[in-house]
Amino acid sequence: MASKMRAAVFLGKGKIGLREVDRPEPGVGEALVRVTLTTICGTDVHILKGEYPVAPGRIVGHEPVGVIERLGNAITGYEVGERVIVGAITPCGQCNSCLDGRPSQCRGRLMGGWRFGNTIDGCQAEFVLVPDAMANLSPVPDELTDEQVLMCPDIMSTGLSGAESGGVRIGDVVAVFAQGPIGLCATAGARLRGASRIIVVDCIAERLKLAKTLGADEALDYDKADPVDAIMNLTNGRGVDVAIEALGKQQTFEWGLRTLKPGGVLSSLGVYSGKLSIPLDALAAGLGDHTIRTTLCPGGRERMRRLMSIVQSGRMDLRSFVTHRFTLDRIEEAYELFANQKDNVIKVAITP
């Protein structure tokens, strides 16, 4: 009889519940990781709400921190018992997209190389089966705790990629729209890339305050003033070099376009669940030399190593993002809190 484990399973629109399921066994090139810490992402909420198509019965979650439990055949360089993280995106390293320098778009599937909790079972469970393990298992330095690296698999990688894809240069003025976990990391990423002025937009006072600790120079509450007018006034009508959209809403997307300088870059990180339109005037009728760049969270072993090195250096400390902690048997309570943004939640930590 197969061994069992507990897991958070998508049961249909509006319902994710804890179930007992078969524990997977690693095949060739795979690894079984015992999950020691994970979290809930905004994308998981899209799944819960039926806004992103995932088959009922799928184990959700894509941000694992854990310990290698078993290794499949053909894996070298790793040991059972080793602490690891795995990126939300698990590139194979062999397909056309990977070999073309686009590992996030691995195998050209919908949402690229995002498989955990999408096309294969995810990590909100006691164990997770990691595909293409040698390309995706990244050892955790001994001096770093699980909570210190919890944001690396997705939130930190995605947020920093907003600044990277936007091509933020030394001396740039950058606006970041929405200061959820990804937007906060985008703010930190803009600082790391050398922006001289960072303007953030949100309506939650606690998040605007936290953004200041991560590098924001001005924090705008869009409930109190029109952010486009405010940003254009702050830049003396010039606009920003790079606008980063970190929510996935029509309004924030438009705000980003409307605050760009001619030739500016809109770096879009949001997951859009409805129709997205581009206003003609905001795009200067297509004549403004604007660039719109979308990005899927970079994953893979080397990306995770680099992110952990930033944490290890002390240049980013994201432990304050974890505002609530739950055990796996309280997963439904955790989703209720996170999906409805109660009690000033930023991120939840789930301990299987």
Compute the distance between CA of residue 270 and CA of residue 262 in angstroms, rounded to an integer. Answer: 23
Tokens describing residue 341? 């943004």
Q: What is the dihedral angle through the alpha carbons of 136, 141, 147, 151, rounded to the nearest 10 degrees? A: -40
What does the pLDDT read at residue 111? 66
What does the pLDDT read at residue 77? 96
Compute the distance between CA of residue 61 and CA of residue 186 in angstroms, rounded to an integer. Answer: 22
The CATH architecture of the domain made up of 4-150+318-351 is: Alpha-Beta Complex (3.90)
Please give the distance of CA 297 from its chain centroid, rounded to a whole number: 6
Q: What pTM did the predictor assign?
A: 0.94
Domain 159-294 has CATH 3.20.20.70: no
What does the pLDDT read at residue 273? 77
Residue 180 dihedral angles phi and psi, to the nearest 5°: -75, -170
Asked if the domains 4-150+318-351 and 159-294 are classified in one and the same CATH topology, the answer is: no
pLDDT tens digit at each of 352 positions of the chain: 579 999 999 999 999 999 999 999 999 999 999 999 999 999 999 999 998 889 999 999 999 999 999 999 999 999 999 999 999 999 999 999 999 999 999 987 666 789 999 999 999 999 999 999 999 999 999 999 999 999 999 999 999 999 999 999 999 999 999 999 999 999 999 999 999 999 999 999 999 999 999 999 999 999 999 999 999 999 999 999 999 999 999 999 999 999 999 999 999 998 887 789 999 898 888 899 999 999 999 999 999 999 999 999 999 999 999 999 999 999 999 999 999 999 999 999 999 9
What does the pLDDT read at residue 110? 61
Residue 300 dihedral angles phi and psi, to the nearest 5°: 95, 160
Domain boundaries, the chain: 4-150+318-351, 159-294
| Separate counts of helices (H) and strands (E) for the chain | 11, 15
Sort 107 into a burial class: Cβ within 10 Å, 0-12 / 13-18 / 19+: middle
Cβ-contact 279, 115 below 8 angstroms: no
- Helices 250-258 and 227-234 pack at an angle, to 10 degrees, of 20
Strand partners, 37: 65
Q: DSSP assignment, residue 283?
A: T
Residue 258 dihedral angles phi and psi, to the nearest 5°: -75, -15
What does the pLDDT read at residue 1? 53
Cβ-contact 231, 261 below 8 angstroms: no
